[in-house]
Structure 1
């Protein structure tokens, strides 16, 4: 089975399944992953056509591109859900991951995983209070690769009207980060920034996501990718530091040591290992 890149993706760029001509451009945008959307970006009358277009164009992607591809299917209980799963059964073995919107029920998630087949990697999208209440159980399902926050639908579900900096959503963000940690999953994925014309707003939202402990961000425009990558990734200096720490730790055989005037103990080594885990190869 081909490995998926979704586990450590910083930027995940949405592209409508009805626009297959944009797939290659999205993959070339610098995004770590793309999310081909069969759900919100597709009108009800176009669902079957969008799925047919996706089936036609997935074979045109290389193995490396497939490993960077996530497909957001229609939610459990929707008329198009079963057909979406049927299409993707043949592609999850090629590295394509699946995003399940409106994730709320661990039993329903288990059924989705069984239908897709062993080894399918699923991103659960929490978009409601019910999803937040169940997030620990959802995150612990063995085929879940990552948790994502659909913060716009979440606000609608609770009747919220968050301010620009969204302090009102801190409780939910904290819960998703904690659930991911308890389940030993990679850091979760934060929601979109709707203001596609403001690099400053995107950068601020991405910095907030990292401050909360998120490791990725959903993007809706290619212009948002670089800002998400910069805020949620590690600089070349941070990467070099981490590799130096790990090299020296091997030499020291587990002893506490000093590097560049900074004490290096086990927590620091674990932080360096987390940086190394995001590096290619």
Structure 2
């Protein structure tokens, strides 16, 4: 079942120079597949990757494409290659540091093509709200590996609290979905991936980049409404249906307008995931 990009939880990177790994309509998996022309492809194979990507029939399922960044010599060639893809859901722009990076990228794509802006630097973080407000920006994503390398942040959660919260607030203030978190780097420790994903969701993120297919199932579960939360939302709406707009008591909790709206959001999201 296809999940609309606005609800996508798992975003799986796939090297664009490996057409044998391209998604197919008969192979369910991640909510969104990102064919990668950037970090997953060696400099000497960029042209080959673009060739594979643009072969007729190479892509028969909707995909996103991560192009090279705005300052790269490959940026324009990447955009020329992806602009004609018939199954293009959108473009991921790495190292987005200014709103203009998104605007100039969108200008070379078919009108209305969404851009997922990957914030990976301290300058991009400081400009997060401006980037989020750019008309072509679909959502923000967090490039944790490059951000860690530049800033030198360690593993303590408090070291990451400011930047994570900044991306969440910038996204919501601009009217976007919550940001997409960076990938967990553990390939063989699914429990660690699960813990990271649940912590990320609790921090306001709505999805997560994945670097291996084995990560997608636990990521999807982490960002999905739990059955008990769906049951709670249904009880709330049942009570509210007879309250004539007044606050109601459900499970010992006062449910006012914000909590009622939250219950509706939960059920809407659950319905979208169920098709």
TM-score by length of 1: 0.88
Aligned to 1:136: 129
* Distance change (3 Å), C-alpha of 1:26 and 1:162: farther
In structure 2, C-alpha distance between the alignment counterparts of 1:15 and 1:243, rounded to whole Å: 38
Match of 1:86 among 47, 58, 80: 80
Partner secondary structure for residue 71 of structure 1: strand
* Distance change (3 Å), C-alpha of 1:217 and 1:55: same
1:6 and 1:97 in contact (8 A); partners too: no
In structure 2, C-alpha distance between the alignment counterparts of 1:96 and 1:9, rounded to whole Å: 12
In structure 1, C-alpha distance between the alignment counterparts of 2:203 and 2:6, rounded to whole Å: 18
In structure 1, C-alpha distance between the alignment counterparts of 2:250 and 2:169, rounded to whole Å: 31
Partner secondary structure for residue 22 of structure 2: helix
Partner secondary structure for residue 111 of structure 2: coil
Match of 2:147 among 143, 154, 178: 154
* Distance change (3 Å), C-alpha of 1:71 and 1:57: farther
In structure 2, C-alpha distance between the alignment counterparts of 1:58 and 1:84, rounded to whole Å: 18
Shift of 1:101: 0.2
Gaps of 5+ in 2: none
* Distance change (3 Å), C-alpha of 1:256 and 1:161: closer
In structure 2, C-alpha distance between the alignment counterparts of 1:255 and 1:190, rounded to whole Å: 37
C-alpha RMSD over aligned residues: 2.3
Partner secondary structure for residue 138 of structure 2: strand
Shift of 1:95: 5.1
1:13 and 1:220 in contact (8 A); partners too: yes
Aligned to 1:13: 12
* Distance change (3 Å), C-alpha of 1:95 and 1:239: farther
Q: What does 1:128-277 correspond to in 2, within 5 Å? A: 128-158=121-151, 160-163=152-155, 165-246=156-237, 248-277=239-268
Aligned to 1:100: 93
- Residue 31 of structure 2 corresponds to residue 32 of structure 1: yes
Aligned to 1:124: 117
2:37 and 2:50 in contact (8 A); partners too: yes
Which deviations, in whole Å up to 9, do the C-alpha atoms of 1:214-250 show, x marking residues without a partner?
Answer: 1111111111112211222112332343344345534
* Distance change (3 Å), C-alpha of 1:41 and 1:143: same
In structure 2, C-alpha distance between the alignment counterparts of 1:270 and 1:42, rounded to whole Å: 44
In structure 1, C-alpha distance between the alignment counterparts of 2:216 and 2:267, rounded to whole Å: 22
In structure 2, C-alpha distance between the alignment counterparts of 1:137 and 1:4, rounded to whole Å: 28
Instruction: Number of aligned residue pairs: give it.
Output: 271
Aligned to 2:68: 74
Gaps of 5+ in 1: none
Higher helix share: 1
Which deviations, in whole Å up to 9, do the C-alpha atoms of 1:64-109 show, x marking residues without a partner?
Answer: x31xx21101111212211221222234x75511100010011221
- Residue 113 of structure 2 corresponds to residue 113 of structure 1: no
Shift of 1:43: 0.6
